[in-house]
Amino acid sequence: MSAFSRFTPLIQSLPATVPFVGPEAIERNRGLEVKARIGANENGFGPAPSVLRAITEAAPETWKYNDPENHALKQALAAHLGCQPQNIAIGEGIDSLLGQIVRLVIDPGMPVVTSFGAYPTFNFHVNGFGGRLVTVPYVNDREDLDGLLAAVRRENPPLVYFANPDNPMGSWWDADSIVALARALPETTLLILDEAYCETAPEGSTPDIYALIDQPNVIRTRTFSKAYGLAGARIGYVISTPGTAAAFDKIRNHFGMARISTAAALAALEDQAYLGEVLENIRLSRERIGGIARENGLVPLASATNFVAIDCGRDGAYSKAIVDGLMEHGVFIRMPGVAPLNRCIRISTGPEADMALLEEALPKVLKTL
């Protein structure tokens, strides 16, 4: 049989992998039903009723392609953020935009700096374009700004990734520290500042829109998947200088955005009152998760996101046993992927019905262990 492969050497060298195993796959593979879906950092409180009405009204026109320039959404985001439409690029969620950013600046073999244990989908894209990952350990469950900067100075990478607030630990840095990091980087290093959870973050942790808007080597990525409850609609955007934002036009899927999704995003931006209600629900749910953890002898970490990382006090094997055990009761959660972060489990906020299932199942699981 011929040894010929139609795939490039890079693709042949990569494993067939999925950064996250979805709850649907777990249901299929284990024959279990997910009753409490609190593992994927989705917003279980859902989008606003006004957003659902907008989706319904837009549905009859789904036979049309979306505006390839995303004009209306750029205008609305610019008005909401206080910048110019030229500062914004739109994409099918942050995951898609991360892949485009890597494609824009990384050739095979080039170094890319990130934190060890940070968002694995970013790593997936770096590997897919042949980049060489250089990782910096977390310190005290936070991404190490000094360590990232030191790695940049050592490696001279075209790209560095940093999330604030952080996934998977829920930790955060203050805005001044982030701006200082950005300004300390060489102009040849592009910073991805992933702000997927900025709406749930405490005051003073997200840099002002004008603090970084003039830096061509900074790209801020944001999403409608978390606080706005539109993960399934796939709506992400970047904020940067006009020149950097325009570069996406060279490679993006110009018809990648769904018309219904755009209608949903526009309606979500208009309904800031509902966003405020959801943010309060998320805050209360974080407290609820923390209380359940403490009742079971576990330690919840402070969180600026819509999830809580919980220190289980042992190792990754013990945390995985808890994750697997909760799934036996229909409670879907996740955990960080590498030590020492994987001593924790990670639970997304959600409605009280989900919290009640967690409260009932967790002590049963711990007792079996």
Which residue ranges make up each domain of the chain? 9-46+273-368, 62-270
What the block records as the tokens of 319 is 């945390």
> Residue 23 region, left (φ>0) first, then alpha (ψ -120 to 50), else beta?
alpha
Contact indicator for 169, 336 with CB cutoff of 8 Å = yes
Q: What CATH class is the domain 9-46+273-368? A: alpha beta
What the block records as the tokens of 75 is 């205008």
Expressed in angstroms, the distance from the first to the final Cα of the chain is 50
* Contacts of 79 by beta carbon, 8 Å cutoff, 6+ apart: none
Same fold across 9-46+273-368 and 62-270: no
CATH match for 62-270 among 2.70.70.10, 3.40.640.10, 3.40.50.720, 3.40.50.1580: 3.40.640.10
Calculate the alpha carbon distances from 55 to 79, 259, 297 in Å. Answer: 22, 9, 44
| pLDDT at residue 1, as a whole number | 46
| pLDDT at residue 215, as a whole number | 96
Determine phi and psi for 292, rounding to 5 degrees.
Answer: -65, -40
Contact indicator for 312, 322 with CB cutoff of 8 Å = yes
pTM check: above 0.85 = yes
Those residues of the chain that have pLDDT short of 50 are: 1
Calculate the alpha carbon distances from 201 to 121, 164, 175, 241, 344 in Å. Answer: 22, 9, 11, 24, 21
